[in-house]
Chain A
């Protein structure tokens, strides 16, 4: 039975990804600036050279033909060549994906540690006073978009990956704080307190096991948040990752590269969101 579900899920993901790639290519094709090259402004170029430049975009003019060719290349493992960077796209991706992954992994780890560290003292002690400072900090950080956090980070000379941590931590804090507070108000926890168990023991044995699945579900979503935040941070802090590549590809109207990146982003988004959906659904009836 679960094979059925998994197969259906995979088929849906596949269709959505293919559609995403095609739509991305179409958006690019009909945006202004398609088919122009900065090199055209070079005054040395002869008329023949400029014409050759313009003709080099001919392969991309028909979106459907281009996409079909791209897909057939994809099946053979050939991702195409980036027009703006003049290199095979598979090489570009293999060089840049690890950079982004490292950035995101570090940011996620630090963000979760920070968020939980802020939430647990209040959960253990139960005193509202322990929540004022973390609450204000998290409110302040939530109000700053990730790009701004990155800029401020560069200003104080801190490491870029920490900026992602500061984007994740307040969300983790607020969510886990709310969740732990809700779980602590459950009847069996109250009973344990009435029986005189220590707060720490209650937290570890009675609260956390119940809250764990939902915290894990948040982990899935925080992955996609971290990826989203990594793009402006890479651009601002100059990390040679996927985010910076995507921005450059967009500005250069690099169709082969952009289609690949759209497909990649769609796959990551779908997988992350599907995973978090699957993680939540078994427990959704267990309010």
Chain B
């Protein structure tokens, strides 16, 4: 009896030690932009999205590590009516951060507010595959059915972005279902989040999550200063680490840096194909020629870009979907081969001639054009300079112009007064349906020739058909088949010259336990409720 008691006592003592070692502490990292709004339905930038991820409760969560769906506030769901309807069974016994109970009414309220057309919520727009009213029916406190006016492809993953608001409370933005609550906000300085005392999730041992007491988010735009503070031990995490800073830190503290492989982001170059642009006719002819675009693509040394600009922390890109996107990636696509001779051959077929080191078109115009990119983004500026040298070998003169972002956007979406543009796509959503506005020729983000009244080329018409096809079925395999064909067409016609897929680089201090950085955002704190800090006592053991 006494032996069992002592064993139990010892076990309790050891368990309590673990508990002691894992409870508490304040995690400290930086936001790179000031949060513009705390309304989870309107956030669009990093600051707001971070706070929404940490404080918002969602029905379905995309597990960033496995890329699978996991139930959160919804214990189960069913998709019906060919992708138009979704039925949820909600988790019982959950409360908001002030103790008020969570029920289906809160979900109904949230969805109705989200889909309000006057709100213009970006998340709401993702659900809005067509106009029309939303229908939400609750059957009891823990069941509801949402019916959309048209099928929403990949609907379940979209719920990862919908933070549930309280239907009844007056202070809607101050009630949270996530692991943390907003406690303090000092503009320009920091945001403090404290643990949610009513958070529903428990770990395998039955202890209430999160382990951390609080998270402090400093607002710091300067990456170099952030790095200095990390080195001094003032910060625990760095997300989206610069490749150069990564290498410096790797030399000092190799265990603190993580290269989680390819992220979903890509960098690309495109030519202005807008017929009404103020460019001279001969340049418009170059940019509209598939042979010209493929030749330029073949003259760019993507391996060098990855090696020099990204220090090896990037891979050459072939198409819009990076290998990080396990389901939608097209394995058979390879980057356009680096082949300057072949490129010259293609150009000669189009009527270009290399004449004394200068490439000229069939009318004798020397091939010279400019590429615009946003100033202050060093990797893009460097890539532009490297491409300048690569194209120089072909006799093409490339002028690099760095512009501030509003001027750049003005040129690419209003005045169309540009020749080529080098930018990147930041993808948070793995489903290509989120990029509908890029691939449809009538949409505004169809960058090389936006808002066409009707598709101007046969291949763009084909892309339109295929994208509509994938949006109208719910079988993932059929959708993939259509989108694979879209990727093939893009590879062939090269309206976008994909350059690199950036790797997901992050730094995690040795004081943080359970961090498993992934390629998807948020990289280091996707499992924030299970992160803990090594306490002083535990460390000294």
Contacts and interface: CB of A to CB of B under 8 A. Distances in A.
B437 A33 contact: no
Interface string A31-53: 01110111111111111111011
B222 A43 contact: no
Interface string A226-268: 0000000000111010001000000111000000000000000
A46 B128 contact: yes
B221 A238 contact: yes
Interface string B410-442: 110111000000000000010000111110000
Contacts of A32: 406-407, 410-411, 415
B224 A154 contact: yes
B414 A154 contact: no
A50 B405 CA distance: 17
Nearest to B375: A251
Interface string A9-45: 0000000000000000000000011101111111111
Nearest to B226: A238
17 contacts: A33-B404, A36-B413, A38-B409, A39-B44, A43-B437, A44-B122, A44-B125, A44-B429, A49-B122, A49-B125, A53-B120, A96-B188, A154-B224, A157-B228, A238-B220, A240-B219, A252-B406
A92 interface: yes
A157 B126 CA distance: 46
Given A33-B406, A240-B189, A251-B405, A43 B413 contact: no
Contacts of A52: 120
A42 B122 contact: yes
B348 interface: no
A240 B126 contact: no
A37 to B, nearest CB: 8
Given A32-B406, A36-B413, A48-B117, A43 B188 contact: no
Nearest to B444: A50
Contacts of B228: 154, 157
Interface in B26-62: 34, 36-37, 44
A237 B34 CA distance: 16
A47 B443 CA distance: 8
Contacts of B414: 36
A95 interface: yes
B126 A44 contact: yes
A237 to B, nearest CB: 7
Nearest to A87: B187
Contacts of A42: 44, 122
A38 B408 CA distance: 10
Contacts of A283: none
Contacts, number: 93
Given A36-B406, A50-B444, A236 B222 contact: yes
A103 B220 CA distance: 18
Interface of B: 34, 36-37, 44, 117, 120, 122-123, 125-126, 128, 187-189, 219-222, 224-225, 228, 404-411, 413-415, 429, 434-438, 443-445
A97 to B, nearest CB: 12
B36 A85 contact: yes
B440 to A, nearest CB: 11
A253 B404 CA distance: 11
Given A46-B125, A46-B128, A95-B188, A251 B406 contact: yes
Given A40-B409, A42-B44, A251 B404 contact: yes
A33 B188 contact: no
A41 B225 contact: no
Given A48-B117, A49-B120, A50-B444, A38 B187 contact: no
Contacts of A48: 117, 120
A237 B429 CA distance: 34
Interface string A198-223: 00000000000000000000000000
A284 interface: no
A237 B222 CA distance: 8
Contact of B37 (A50, A86, A154, A240): A86
Nearest to B187: A95
B395 to A, nearest CB: 32
A42 B44 CA distance: 8
A37 B405 CA distance: 9
Given A44-B125, A236-B222, 13 more contacts: A32-B410, A32-B411, A33-B405, A36-B406, A38-B409, A42-B44, A42-B122, A45-B122, A48-B117, A84-B36, A154-B228, A244-B188, A253-B406
B354 to A, nearest CB: 36
A217 to B, nearest CB: 35
B397 to A, nearest CB: 25
Contacts of B429: 44
Contacts of B123: 44
Contacts of A252: 406
Contacts of B44: 39, 42
A240 B188 contact: yes
Contacts of B435: 43
> Lowest 10 A-B CB distances belong to which pairs?
A33-B406, A240-B188, A49-B120, A33-B407, A46-B125, A36-B409, A32-B407, A33-B410, A238-B222, A44-B126
Contacts of A46: 125, 128
A45 B410 contact: no
Contacts of A96: 188
A209 B120 CA distance: 68
A33 B404 CA distance: 9
B225 A33 contact: no
Contacts of A253: 406
Given A50-B444, A95-B188, A240-B189, A43 B406 contact: no
B444 A47 contact: yes
Contacts of B404: 33, 251
B407 A41 contact: no
Contact of A36 (B222, B410, B434): B410
B483 to A, nearest CB: 15
A32 B224 CA distance: 30
A43 to B, nearest CB: 5
A253 B405 CA distance: 10
Contacts of A33: 404-410
Nearest to B409: A36
Contacts of B34: 85
Nearest to A99: B188
B414 to A, nearest CB: 7
Given A45-B122, A154-B224, A40 B187 contact: no
A96 to B, nearest CB: 7
Nearest to A46: B125
A40 B44 CA distance: 11
B125 A45 contact: yes
Given A49-B122, A49-B125, A40 B413 contact: yes
A134 to B, nearest CB: 31
A86 B438 CA distance: 28
Nearest to A95: B187
Contacts of A45: 120, 122, 125, 437
Nearest to B414: A36
Interface string A84-118: 11110001100110000000000000000000000
Given A33-B410, A38-B409, A43 B434 contact: yes
